[in-house]
Amino acid sequence: MSTHDASPQHQTTATPGGANWHFDTMQTHAGASPAAGHGAHVTPIVASAGFTFDNVDHAASIFSMDTLDSFAYARAGNPTNAVVEQRLAALEGGAGAVLTASGQAATVLALLSIVRSGDHVVASSQIYGGTVGLLNDRFAELGISVSYVDEQNDGDAWRRAARPETRAFIAESISNPLCTVLDTRLVADVAHEIGVPLIVDNTLATPYLSRPLEHGADIVVHSTTKFLAGHGAVIGGAVIDGATFDFGREPEKWPALHTPSSPGEAGLWERFSPLRLAYLLRVRALLRDYGPSASPFNAFLLLLGIETLSLRMRQHVANAREVVAFLSEHPLVAAVHYAELPDSAWRAAAATYLPNGAGSVFSFELHGGIEAGKRFIAALKLFSHIANIGDVRSLAIQPASTTHSPLTESERASVGIPAGLIRLSIGIEDARDLLADLSAALDAAHTDTIARDTRKEAHA
């Protein structure tokens, strides 16, 4: 008997039709069924905390997880979110998805579903600062340890970092601010050799630019707050499972998937791996128990965003390429970190994994250090000064004075964040206006004496 107020229900697989559709069709149709119920053409916001049962047997079958396609209580799932889950699963090529209240919650649930006290995680040191904080601070409090791999595309570095108690590898397909690109296949192969799943945070790439599950990753997480929702309006996250990792091979490593919830019952793996739902039902159980559920209002806005994902990403990438070309030629710019550039260490990985572009979040270094960077930010008129990425509007920030300000200059240098670094997230405006704004701000950044000296150096 369940002691919970709602079973982890409603976990259906991606729409069958979606498998045959092309990306642009999936992004506008997968998961939605306009004919269902009252015939609303747009997926409705279902604002209901609870859902009525047909009868007592129906209720019982939901709670015992014999019925998976009904809803009970919106903390564990609701019809609006279910459409978005199916659409994301279709776009990533996964078996299914679970929507969460934030990207951070998605990472928490993806990991805590299989990692417990005494376990260990290996992460790329390029990952998002919020994930680093989560692993270093919160997971340490739970007795979960972490090791970082500095050279994320060196398989031996991952091998060396792994321990008998390692339970997951985690990395990002594209990371910021330095626009590094993961060799997904290589790291996935090492993960599988070690016997753990590879979790890829695909936030910056989106499934339009990269589908990590096609390259050996087992689980994808997203901050849907960024390019997927696309308009900077709502926080959200998602866990998408490829259902490729064999949690049955070394069952002693995965007690969460093999321990029955009541004596005599089968564990999640035994019961649901034939449906490719074992891990996802575990994630949904954590969603129900920890409670970081996505509001259907936010899910609705996310769905609207997803419907134009490919159109926006094409414009984001085209604009980013124009800005990169402009900055690369500019005498006041010391370096540009974009994975498509000939001198980028990530160029080969970008060519393999990101044929449609290396995204629109990258950074560049200004001559004149932190002070020139401050003047540059202050002089921007069109770019917004904001700690976000993946908006239709172009954004800029100086990591040394904001996101990375707790670090000393030498600590920042060790993670590749020089004082003069500026991170840009290029939006979908007209590139000519973006270049004009950047050009004027660069000039303004270099109007004082220090900068004039630097300019001489730059020209020398």
Ligand X SMILES: *Cc1c(COP(=O)(O)O)cnc(C)c1O
Shortest distance, position 226 Cβ to ligand X, whole Å: 6
Nearest CB to ligand X, comparing residues 96 and 237: 237
Nearest CB to ligand X, comparing residues 211 and 375: 211
Nearest CB to ligand X, comparing residues 62 and 238: 238
Integer angstrom CA distances of residue 228 from 301, 311, 325, 374, 429? 10, 12, 26, 30, 17
Nearest CB to ligand X, comparing residues 358 and 451: 358
Q: What is the 3-state secondary structure of the chain?
A: CCCCCCCCCCCCCCCHHHHHCCHHHHHHHCCCCCCCCCCCCCCCCCCCCECCCCCHHHHHHHHCCCCCCCCCECCCCCHHHHHHHHHHHHHHCCCEEEEECCHHHHHHHHHHCCCCCCCEEEEECCCCHHHHHHHHHHHHHCCCEEEEECCCCCHHHHHHHCCCCEEEEEEECECCCCCCECCHHHHHHHHHHHCCCEEEECCCCHHHHCCHHHHCCCEEEEECCCCCCCCCCCCCEEEEECCCCCCCCCHHHCHHHHCCCCCCCCCHHHHHHHHCCHHHHHHHHHHHHHCCCCCHHHHHHHHHHHCCHHHHHHHHHHHHHHHHHHHHHCCCEEEEECCCCCCCCCHHHHHHHCCCCCCCEEEEEECCHHHHHHHHHHHCCCCEECCCCCCCCCEEECHHHCCCCCCCHHHHHHCCCCCCEEEEECCCCCHHHHHHHHHHHHHHHCCCHHHHHHHHHHHC
Shortest distance, position 110 Cβ to ligand X, whole Å: 11
> Looking at 180, 203, 210, 363, which residue binds ligand X (CB under 6 A)?
203
> Looking at 181, 235, 339, 366, which residue binds ligand X (CB under 6 A)?
235
Nearest CB to ligand X, comparing residues 130 and 155: 130
Nearest CB to ligand X, comparing residues 43 and 203: 203
Q: Is 425 in the site for ligand X (CB under 6 A)?
A: no
Nearest CB to ligand X, comparing residues 108 and 324: 108
> Looking at 223, 344, 360, 398, which residue binds ligand X (CB under 6 A)?
223
> Looking at 85, 92, 119, 172, which residue binds ligand X (CB under 6 A)?
172
What are 286's two structure tokens? 């954590």
Shortest distance, position 455 Cβ to ligand X, whole Å: 34
> Looking at 18, 237, 296, 359, which residue binds ligand X (CB under 6 A)?
237
- Residues of this chain, 366-395, that bind ligand X according to CB under 6 A: 389
Segment near ligand X (CB under 6 A); pick from 182-190, 199-207, 367-375, 424-432: 199-207
Closest residue to ligand X in the complex (CB): 103
- Residues of this chain, 100-159, that bind ligand X according to CB under 6 A: 102-104, 128, 130-131
Shortest distance, position 100 Cβ to ligand X, whole Å: 9
Size of the site for ligand X (CB under 6 A): 16
Segment near ligand X (CB under 6 A); pick from 146-154, 210-218, 221-229, 268-276: 221-229
- Residues of this chain, 277-306, that bind ligand X according to CB under 6 A: none
Nearest CB to ligand X, comparing residues 32 and 199: 199
Segment near ligand X (CB under 6 A); pick from 18-26, 137-145, 152-160, 220-228: 220-228
Nearest CB to ligand X, comparing residues 104 and 153: 104
Contacts with ligand X, residue ranges (CB under 6 A): 102-104, 128, 130-131, 172, 201, 203-204, 223, 225-226, 235, 237, 389
